[in-house]
Amino acid sequence: MKNRLNLILCLTRGRLLVGCAGRSSDATYTVKRGDTLYGISRQTGTSVRELARLNGISPPYIIEVGQTLRTGGKATKKTAGSASTRTAKVVPSSAVPPSSWPPVGQRCWRWPASGKVILPYSTANGGNKGIDIAGSLGQPVYAAGAGKVVYAGNQLRGYGNLIMIKHGEDYITAYAHNARILVSNGQSVRIGQQIATMGNSDADSVRLHFQIRYRATAIDPQRYLPPQGSKPKC
């Protein structure tokens, strides 16, 4: 697949396996759910631009679960009688402590939809990296902040009809499981503008899965959103 995920974000889990062979070869990384090219770049030490070049990926940098990426590193050489492999551990994004998150009030956010939060954010390894908001089919979904749409499509498994909006250089919001997408790639949106209708694409019930990512790390949306039903104070 020729697209890849420059911006989402999610959870950077997994291990970089450097295989051994009779001669040196490029190291590879297998994409896990929630990985982003930016996050993989931080894990492997290979720049986003170089990862894109090595793997023939063009903006908006979408990658697929299970996809094998060349990272530009070299695998450990195998010597006679040796069959060892080297494993480089990766620190999951969920391990980034909340103390390193941006301060509350740094940006203006509003709720993307009204409804009960049925699945909160979790810092657990493999936990929910956003919040899931229950609602009704066709209910409006709004941009949580002003920004530019960098992805609108359904090529990422597990997210259904997905929208990603970039807010400045540091933030991205993601809106998953929509019924209809009402914006397109490259479109600028206002805070509170309707961008989709709620649905259950790639979900077992009607819901909105919403994420806020700061420099590719998923942070707890409820820490930054105003109280439900109130207007943002900005």
pTM over 0.85: no
How does pLDDT run across 98-152, given as a tens digit for each residue?
777 888 888 899 999 999 999 999 988 778 899 999 999 999 999 999 999 999 9
How many angstroms separate the CA atoms of 72 and 44, rounded?
9
Q: Write the CA distances from 217 to 114, 155, 221, integer angstroms.
A: 25, 21, 12
At 63, list the tokens: 């990658």
Both 75 and 166 in one domain: the answer is no
pLDDT higher than threshold 70 for residue 85: no
Both 141 and 187 in one domain: the answer is yes
Both 148 and 200 in one domain: the answer is yes
Q: Write the CA distances from 208 to 75, 80, 119, 125, integer angstroms.
A: 41, 55, 10, 21
Q: Write the CA distances from 48 to 7, 9, 36, 52, 75, integer angstroms.
A: 11, 14, 10, 6, 20
What is the count of structural domains for the chain? 2
Domain boundary at 28, 57, 92, which?
92
What's the CATH code of the domain at 32? Answer: 3.10.350.10
How many angstroms separate the CA atoms of 137 and 148, rounded?
25
Range of the domain at 73: 15-80+87-92
Q: Write the CA distances from 162 to 1, 66, 152, 156, 209, integer angstroms.
A: 17, 19, 6, 8, 9
Q: Name the amino acid, one letter, at 162.
A: L
Q: Does any domain span residue 197? A: yes
The percentage of residues in the chain with a pLDDT greater than 70, rounded to a whole number, is 74
How many angstroms separate the CA atoms of 29 and 161, rounded?
26
Q: How large is the angle between the packed helices 48-55 and 37-44, nearest 10 degrees?
A: 110
How does pLDDT run across 29-60, given as a tens digit for each residue?
888 876 777 778 767 878 777 888 888 876 66
**pLDDT band at residue 3 under the 50/70/90 scheme:** very low
